[in-house]
Structure formats: C-alpha cells, structure tokens
Structure 1
Amino acid sequence: MVWVYLFVGGLFECVWAVSMKYSEGFTKLWPSIVTVLSMIASLWLLSLAMKSLPAGTAYAVWTGIGAVGVAVAGMFLFDEPRELIRILSILLIVAGVLGLRLL
C-alpha cells in the first residue's frame, strides 16, 4: 500500500505543477485552488510513504514521477519540445524510478 501512496502522491505532484502553470502566477482562482489542494494531498501522501520507505528512495521516486508526468504533460498541453534527447532523458528517469522500486 505504501507504494500506492507514493505513486498517487506523485500524480498529485503532476496535478499541482500543471495547475500552477494554469494559475498564471496565482492570479486565476480555480487553478490556484487546485494547485494548493494538490500540493497538500501530494505532500501528505509522500509523508505516509516515508513512514515505511527510506526518505531518499521515497523522495526520489516521488520527484521522478512528478518530473516525468509534468514533462509529458507539458509536451501535450503546452506544446513543449518533443526532441529525441528529451524523450530519452525522460526514459532514463523512468528507469531510475523503476530501479529504486525494484530494490
């Protein structure tokens, strides 16, 4: 269950990062509310995971999920670059997260 907390917390990290972009510097109400609530949920779930997992592993996996999720979301939602080196770099992050999970 601890890995589920960590994974869902990472997904909430993606939500807050994307909604922060939509909030335009916290000038738009609803995206700002989504950002703050997602931050709280993300950090709470990370804290639950850290009860059982080593802090370094939990934090690395959580940030890895967030980094990959936001990078991919940025490509689709914000028309960010889709160069091969960027995609390969994202895959390296995924490999690192999977490696930490398997240990």
Structure 2
Amino acid sequence: MSKEVNTEDNFLLSSENLRASPELWPEKIPGSDNFAKSAHKLARENEKGLTQEDIRLIYQLGQLPKSGIITEIKRLYDEGYQLGLDEGKEITRGKYLNIFAQGTLSNRKK
C-alpha cells in the first residue's frame, strides 16, 4: 500500500523549472512600480504642508469609484470653464470702464 502512496505522490510532482516572478508576471505598465514608489515618497514629503481638511479630502477622493472620479473631474472642468467666462466678462467690463488705460492709476493717486 505504501507503494501506491509513493506513486501518487510522484504523480503530483512537477519537474518544470520556474522562472523569476518578473518574467512570469510582468508589470502591466512598464515602470509603474518605480513610479508608485516615488509617488508614495513624494506624497509623504509633501504631507508636511497639508491641513487636516486637505488630508481628509485626499482620502475622500481616494475612496471614490471610477465613475465618482470622472464626475468630480467634470465638475472641476465645468467650474474652471465658468470662471473663465466670468473673467472674460470682467475684463470686457474693465475695458469699457477704461481702467486699463495708460496712466489711469497715476491719475487716481493725484
């Protein structure tokens, strides 16, 4: 009976030589491991100037799913676009009020 066990054990053994893991499981994006390490180090260095509110927002954004991140990016894009429109209106208003003319500020100081 012990011979049967040995035969079964030998059947389960493999003589295949395994290669090193980077060759078996390469990075999905070459260099991403190094980037992740350096980004983590940079984040730790920059953490000194952050407030508790900043850190809370970072973790909150980190927990968002893909759709949430996309929604947040669209919101920021729309907000930036609206700020650009508002700035354009204010610049036009300034031109009509002639506040950008040469010497306008020096005339006001007198």
Normalization by structure 1: what TM-score? 0.31
Normalized per residue, which structure has more helix? Answer: 1
Normalization by structure 2: what TM-score? 0.29
Structure of larger gyration radius: 2
